[in-house]
Amino acid sequence: MPTISGGVSTTAVATTGGTILPMPVSNVGVGQYCTVATGQTTALLGSANNATGGAKGDFMGFVTVTPTSTSPGAVAIKDGSNTAVTMFAGGATSLSNLTPFTFYVNAFSLQGAWQITTGTLLSVLVQGAFT
C-alpha cells in the first residue's frame, strides 16, 4: 500500500451501496479550510476557498458553525449532484447560547465537489482536503 511520510496510507476506503471502493488520498493532512459566510446557497468548497474548484474524491473533515444569534438558519451539505443533507435545522430559539459547535463528517465526496448552504445569522468554517 502506498504511503506518505510518517507511514500514513495514501489510499482510503469509501463505501456505496455496500461496495467497498478504493479511493486515492492525495491531499489528506494538508489542512485546508474554507470559510462560508451567512446566507450562501450551494457554495462550492474548493482550493480557491469556495470560489471555484472542488471535485469527486475531495475530503471533508469537519464543519464548525459560528452562530451570531440563538435563532440562526439551517446548515446543509451536498456531495456533488446528491441530495443535500441538513446538518443543523436552526430556527427560532434553536440554540441556548452563541458557542460555536462542530459536526464531524470525515468523508470523501463520491459525486463531485462538496457544497454547503448556510442560513442567516451564522457562518461556517469547513476543514478538509479540496481540489
pLDDT the model gives residue 62 = 94
d(CA 64, CA 130) in angstroms, rounded, equals: 17
Contact between residue 72 and residue 120 where contact means Cβ atoms under 8 Å apart = yes
Dig out the grid coordinates for 124 from the structure.
Answer: 461556517
Contact between residue 123 and residue 38 where contact means Cβ atoms under 8 Å apart = yes
Specify the residue for cell string 474554507.
34
pLDDT the model gives residue 14 = 45
- Bigger pLDDT: 84 vs 8: 84
Residue 123 CA to chain centroid, in angstroms?
A: 13
pLDDT digit string, tens, across residues 78-93: 999 899 999 999 999 9
pLDDT digit string, tens, across residues 18-62: 544 444 444 444 578 888 999 999 998 876 555 567 889 999 999
Ordered domains of the chain (ranges, CATH): 27-129 (2.60.120)
pLDDT the model gives residue 68 = 97
State how beta strands 75-79 and 85-88 pair: antiparallel
Span 67-82, average pLDDT: 95
Closest to 126 in 3D by CA, of 112, 111, 106: 106
